[in-house]
Amino acid sequence: MRTSSAQDSSHLLGLYLNDHLAGSSAGLDLLNRAAKAHDGRPLGPELERLAREVEQDRESLKQIMRSLEVPVRRSRAALGWLGEKAGRLKLNGRLFSRSPLSDVMELEAMRLGVEGKRSCWRNLRSLADRDDRLDRAQLAWLLDRAEEQAETLEGMRTMCALRVFDSGAEAVGRSVGGSLPRGAS
């Protein structure tokens, strides 16, 4: 029989993982929207790749939740969906169209989401030392992939920020048609 403390820990872990699942759903929506906005443009393929990976990471999280017997809480997922939609209402200087600032803000939000995911994978990897239902090797791989995703997003964010904020960086703005900066491949 589980003790009250074990039940509390299990309940808290369930809330934590469901919050990350909701965040991954919101992040996936944002990535898909950004990829669509960049379709046929230089950042499009990288954003599409990241969206596929985040979808796979989301499925990995669901599998981990099943192995830990953590039920998916639809109410938390709905809150994540609403949060992503509310994030679209940000002031970007334009009412009905995308602004160059939209790219910077969205890439920052995506980067923050990946950082949160990295923390989740780290916490689960630590827990794997005491819980054999968790695959330590899988979590290490997910953590490595999240680190690569963060680097890619940071390179894209930096490039977009320079293009938007540095009036002397017209060459940077034009180079967006060329190759991606280091760390954004």
Structural domain boundaries in the chain: 4-175
Q: Give the chain's mean pLDDT.
A: 84
pLDDT score recorded for residue 174: 46
Which H/E stretch holds residue 93?
A: none
- Which pLDDT tens digit goes with each residue over 13-69? 999 999 999 999 999 999 999 999 999 999 999 999 999 999 999 999 999 999 999
Q: Answer yes or no: is pLDDT of 147 > 80.
A: yes
pLDDT score recorded for residue 143: 98
CA 100 – CA 181 distance, rounded (Å): 18
pTM: 0.79
Q: State whether the Cα torsion 165-169-172-177 is positive or negative.
A: positive
Give the single-character DSSP code of 4. Answer: H
Q: Answer yes or no: is pLDDT of 173 > 50.
A: no
pLDDT score recorded for residue 100: 79
Q: Give me the CATH code for the 4-175 domain, please.
A: 1.20.1260
